[in-house]
Amino acid sequence: MGLYAALSLTTGNLSFMKLEGCYTAIVTPFTADGTSVDLRRLGQQIQYQIAGGVRGIVPCGTTGESPTLTEMEHASVVEAAVAHARGSGVQVIAGAGSNSTAHAVHLHRLVRSLGADAALQVVPYYNKPSQEGLYRHFMAVADSADLAVVLYNIPGRSGVPLLPETIERLAAHSNIVAVKEASGSIDSASEIRRRCSITILSGDDSLTLAFASVGARGVVSVVSNIVPDRVQKLCTATLSNDFDCARRVHEELLPLARGLLSIDTNPAPVKAAMELLGRDSGALRLPMCRLSNEAMNRVSALLAAAQLRVSPVAAGVRA
């Protein structure tokens, strides 16, 4: 399928789409100089996720450095994700958001044409719209194509929250099937569940268990770039109401989940971790930049505490 295949492709009956479990917000691997997307390495990373048993992958999100991708790169990453996931049972929720409604509609139709199962639509950032403006924005996107929409509420980056009452209004649209709730607020997740039946996915690894206790069905995870099997195990336990097991896995994951993202802004720490594990070049694009040696040592210590073996070659390069 070409990068700009005809927009007449269909995605099937959205009413039967089930979103639950671990969805990895996958990094975008670049060549060592950061000038190009490394599609070969991306394919390896997707296969690692499939082997880890995750329910889906989320290319071109915040963790995928989408603001620094050209549209051609964005399309190539989504196309590669769809190609590698095809036949594996792994869903692809492609980042397609923008703070311009017209551009979000364009990207929404683009990822549909590339075969994505759903689009992740972030709250418009920087321009700080009202709740009515947010409602109209997401409705315009949802009306533009027969493709499932996952709302992305992340006020720490967008500047404004998508309030539960607005989510309730949006959930009436048949194409709007889920929300990635990255507000960090259990109260917000609880209020969303009280108001409507939209699927809630935690947007924070450290809150996956807490959100599950009020009805969330999984997580869009950063840490699963490193340990997909463990994050999926946590989700499987919560979905089967085995909260004793879920609590044990949560406690194992918590130092890594909280520690990595306390070192620097995502995705710099997770790319550093993957570099140390021999699974990524570690390259980022400005304005994101590589961690200092001191920060790399902190990442290495977190990996060791999680019983993950650092690549001797990578450790030697950063010594």
CA atoms within 13 A on the CB side of 154: 21
Helix/strand/coil percentages in the chain, nearest 5: 50, 10, 40
Q: How many Å apart are CA 267 and CA 122, to the nearest integer?
A: 17
Catalytic machinery residues? 152, 180
Give me the helix-helix angle, 293-305 and 243-263, nearest 10°: 170
Strands 118-122 and 91-95, by their bridges, are: parallel
Q: How many Å apart are CA 123 and CA 114, to the nearest integer?
A: 23
The identity of residue 252, as a single letter, is: E
Residue in this structure with the two tokens 């977190």, named with its chain if needed: 302
- Helix ranges (DSSP H) in the chain: 39-51, 71-85, 101-113, 131-144, 155-158, 164-170, 186-195, 208-212, 228-239, 243-263, 268-276, 293-305, 312-318
Cβ proximity of 297 and 263 under 8 Å: no
